[in-house]
Structure formats: structure tokens, C-alpha cells
Amino acid sequence: MTKIEINGAQLTYDEAGSGSVVVLLHAGIADRRMWREQVPALAARHRVIVPDLRGYGESELPPTPFAHHDDVLGLLDALGVERAALVGCSFGGRVAVDTALAHPERISALALFGAPVSGHEWSEETEQLWEELVGDVDPEDFTATAAGEVRFWVVGPTRRPTDVDPELIRFAEEMDRWALAAEQALSAIEVGELDPPAVDRLGDLRMPVLAAAGAHDLPDVHRLADRIAAEAPHGTRLPNVPDAAHLVPLERPEPVNAALLDFLP
């Protein structure tokens, strides 16, 4: 674990390996620990950098305006990295896409797992699924909220909790409790958005792009992966990963690692 000052904030990151640089960006219900199965696999061939996004995990959150995609660029600058591939899951995928659009000359490739994009609005179908699977939870009760979010995202709409490894559920809930505290703090700070947002700019992603999702993830997420792969000029759609929902790299590391090693420059 290393801490480094980026744009006025102390960000925490892990680093391993040598070679071309790969930055792993975690989901919004997680932190950098979700990549624990990818780091040793990728570090055999790459220099792997795994940060906690600002406010998440062990990274701090000063009360000053910022943008996550500018923090990613700041991290590359601070570590002397000219170009890097970005691998993002869920919210980390959104940050990766925003970074690639804001600073295209610095990004060599994008690999996206269950990624939304800035400017995308969730469908009524997704909102109805939330009501059916989770319902009303007290946002101040991080334990109950984390359990609901893990039921929705990590278990997914087509499985029951008993279908999923209980250790995965326990670990995901632990990470999400931290993430919920981060999101509460972030709500009081001006967080910059990409302007214009990414949803209508996917055709500007000129680097190789891999889009993937878990087979048990939301239909919206599957459609987004389809769209990203179709609209990015050099996009590839990985078949939906079986036996996984939203945190694909954590739940199914073997096929994810194989796909990344095949795809990354």
C-alpha cells in the first residue's frame, strides 16, 4: 500500500509487476480489494496499479471540487506513466470511459465489466427490479443498505442468495459498507462530470475496447455492454460470463484474467 498526493488529495494504491501499465478501477460498491485475483495474474506481464478512488477505501476526501477522471490522469502523471490501459468494473468502468474521452492520448485500451457510462439513465425495468428485490431501506443504515445492494448487484435478478458463495456475499457487504460511507461524504462535495457526457460519445473511443458483463447482471447492463462494443470503432463484446453478476472479476476471476491477458497490450 502506498499513498500519494493527487490534485490535493491523498490517494492510496497498490502496485505490482513490470511492463506495460494497467490501472484497475473498482466498482462503486467496492474498493481496490475487489481486484485481489487480478493483480497476481496480470503482474506477471504488466505493471499493475490499483487505486482506491477518492473517498473510497483508504483514499481521503478533502472538501474541494474534483473529478474522478482527472484524478486518474493525475495518478498517471505522478507515477510517470505516459500511457496506460484502464480496466474498470461498474462505476470504475464509467470513470475509465470518462478518462479515455477526456484524455484519449494517454489511454492505450479499455476493458469494461458491467460498466455504465456518464449520461446514461437506468430504465424503468431496473427501477422495478430494485423495488421487487430490495424495496425501501433506510439510507442511514449502512448494514441494511449494503445487504440490499449486494442482493441487487452481486446476487443479481436471476439468482437467489443461496446460489452464491456466502463468502463472496460477506466480503461484498463489507466493502459496500465502506463505499456507502464514501458516497454519503461525496454527496456533500462538488464532483465534476464529463461535459458532454459519455453516453453519446462512444464513437470517440478510438482505442481498443473490451465490453463484458456477468450472465446474471441486469438487462440494462447487458444492453450497455452491447452498445459500447457496437459504437466504439475498435470495440469487442466478450460473451456474458457465466455464473456471475455485477462483480465479475471478483466472482469469476479465471475467465476474466484469461480475457484480460489476451486483450491487454
> C-alpha 263: how far from its chain's center?
18
Helix (H, G, I), strand (E, B) or coil at 123: coil
Are 173 and 250 in contact, with CB atoms under 8 Å apart? no
In tens, the pLDDT along 59-112 reads: 999 989 999 999 999 999 999 999 999 999 999 999 999 999 999 999 999 999
pTM of the model: 0.96
pLDDT band at 251 (very low <50, low <70, confident <90, very high): very high
Q: What residue ranges of the chain are covered by domains with CATH 3.40.50.1820?
A: 2-121+190-263
CATH superfamily of 2-121+190-263: Alpha/Beta hydrolase fold, catalytic domain (3.40.50.1820)
Are 70 and 102 in contact, with CB atoms under 8 Å apart? yes
pLDDT band at 224 (very low <50, low <70, confident <90, very high): very high
In tens, the pLDDT along 18-46 reads: 999 999 999 999 999 999 999 999 999 99
Residue 139 has pLDDT above 80, yes or no: no
Give the separation between CA 178 and CA 176, rounded to whole angstroms. Answer: 5
Q: State the DSSP code for 153.
A: I
Give me the pLDDT at residue 194, please: 95
pLDDT band at 208 (very low <50, low <70, confident <90, very high): very high
